[in-house]
Amino acid sequence: NNHVVEGADKLSVQFINEKSINATIKGASAARDIAIISIPLKDIDEETANSIKIATMGDSTKLKVGNGVIAIGNALGYGQSVTTGVISALNRTVSIDNMKNDMIQTDAAINGGNSGGALLNASGEVIGINSAKYSSNGYSSEASIEGMGFAIPISDVSELIEKLMNGETSNEDKKGY
């Protein structure tokens, strides 16, 4: 997500074997909260390269409320985390930093550090990018919020991701500026 890398002086990608490689931002869109980072292929050792799998992209336009989902990420910086849940709502308008986007709402736990992680369908296809959650610090006698996580629908941003990956624009929000 853009909110993860925005303003960063230095980025690195850590793999499951705990090896890290410096990364750079290839392109970003603050309005859609999307960022593409890259690492030099020459810096990936053989062990890491052999363990990397390419994610299969799904079709978020085919989702239905009640479909099972899996959220993966790095919750609270503890390392890989996996949670499950269902799609609670589709096209839920969420406002973050005065920017509104229609998102997938899920009750799969999405916590700090999960941003940028994949939301998967039951077939293991990426159908969303974990981005936000609502929470509250209310007392039991007050209204409180639990289980409201949000993901960017992959079908809504697949074209933008492709453009950013191919370097067609370095910052989508300033295209034509």
Give residue 168's pLDDT band: very low, low, confident or very high (50, 70, 90). Answer: low
Residue 3 is a catalytic residue: yes
Residue 107 is a catalytic residue: no
First-to-last CA distance in the chain? Answer: 22
CA atoms within 13 A on the CB side of 123: 10
Give residue 172's pLDDT band: very low, low, confident or very high (50, 70, 90). Answer: very low
Segment 34-49 shows an average pLDDT of 92
Q: Give me the catalytic one of 3, 107, 135, 158.
A: 3
Among 32-36, 96-100, 132-136, which stretch is predicted with the lowest mean pLDDT?
Answer: 132-136
Among 1-5, 8-12, 78-82, 165-169, which stretch is predicted with the lowest mean pLDDT?
Answer: 165-169
- Give the list of residues 6+ apart from residue 24 with CB closer than 8 angstroms, or none: 11, 37, 38, 39
Note the pTM of the prediction, 2 decimals.
Answer: 0.84
Residue 123 is a catalytic residue: no
Q: Give me the catalytic one of 29, 60, 88, 115.
A: 115
Q: Give me the catalytic one of 29, 33, 60, 88.
A: 33
Q: Is the pLDDT of residue 54 over 60?
A: yes
